[in-house]
Amino acid sequence: MLKDLGRRTVASSIAIGGVFVLLYFANVSWVQFFLAVIVAALSAVAAWEYAQFAKAKGGKPKSPALIALSFLVTFSFFISARDVHLQWAPPTMFLLAILILFALHFREQAGAVIDLAVSTFGLLYIALPMGMILGILVFSMADDGRMWVAYLLAVTKMTDMGAYFGGSLWGRRKLAPHISPTKTIEGAGFGLFSALMVSFFFHILGESIPSLNFHLATVEWVSLGIVLGCVGQFGDLSESLLKRDANKKDSNILPGLGGILDAVDSLLFNAPIIYFYLIAAGSTTV
């Protein structure tokens, strides 16, 4: 298990390191566009992986359409951020996606209810949260959006790694044995502790380096750390539920990562929390 931990840690560290390098230069217009394409492409791959789950259960989602629409819905958040007059792009693109999915079934009514439900949920589950990551990056005005994305990624992934590391070393009591037999209560507790420590680190970082234009008050780093640490693990378990039902061990076969959906499952639940928190705090517009 510890050997697998090392492989996962190396793969995750390389991936996160690459993302952080891109984030550093994300104030450059073309780098922002490049990042938006990458995030939208990851959303499309995750949608394909999700479609394989549905097919394993006998569903027949329109996979090419779901993949393309996931890309477009995610990318629409970037488009809306580039021009104040295009803030309607995400809801409009999502509505258009639903219309397209319906239109594709007009000649094949058999199974339409299930397939439409599967495809629509896929957009809600994957494309919208992935788009919100772009919203956090570009929409932010009061604070630096790059720092908020870095905070989201760091807290979420360190929660995952902390839970895995803690469970591997000290785990005894199963957290959800019918969904994910390897996850433990002790691991979940260590994951939450990791989330709080990373959140505190970003609080200190913002206080120590004002030029970062990133601020987390005490109540913010504590409350966000707890919420992200708990909800992120809920997202991990939720994807495990889908894999277990589809009888899949991983969503894909990427070395050390499993699949894109495996890598972003926690982010899909945490990104909306930061996105709407910034809106409520007045740091972003929609």
The whole-angstrom separation of Cα 85 and Cα 124 is 24
pLDDT at 5 over 70: no
pLDDT at 223 over 60: yes
285 against 245, higher pLDDT? 245
**HSE toward the beta carbon, residue 105, CA cutoff 13 A:** 20
pLDDT tier for residue 101 given thresholds of 50, 70 and 90: very high
Q: Percent of the chain beyond pLDDT 90?
A: 54
Closest CA to 123 of 150, 91, 152: 91
Q: Looking only at Cα atoms, what is the longest distance across the chain?
A: 62
Question: What are the backbone angles phi and psi of residue 250, rounded to the nearest 5°?
Answer: -135, 160
Element (H, E) at 175: strand 174-176
253 against 216, higher pLDDT? 216
Using DSSP's 3-state secondary structure scheme, residue 55 falls into: helix
Each residue's pLDDT tens digit, 7-27: 556 666 666 677 777 777 777
Using DSSP's 3-state secondary structure scheme, residue 77 falls into: helix
Element (H, E) at 176: strand 174-176
The DSSP call for residue 84 is G
Structure tokens at 188: 């979940």
Distances (CA, A) of 144 to 63, 109, 214, 222, 284: 36, 48, 6, 20, 10
pLDDT tier for residue 286 given thresholds of 50, 70 and 90: very low
The whole-angstrom separation of Cα 249 and Cα 20 is 29
Structure tokens at 46: 């995750």
Closest CA to 184 of 200, 204, 199, 170: 170
Each residue's pLDDT tens digit, 144-166: 788 999 999 999 999 998 998 88
The whole-angstrom separation of Cα 47 and Cα 268 is 12
Structure tokens at 134: 């772009």
The DSSP call for residue 30 is H
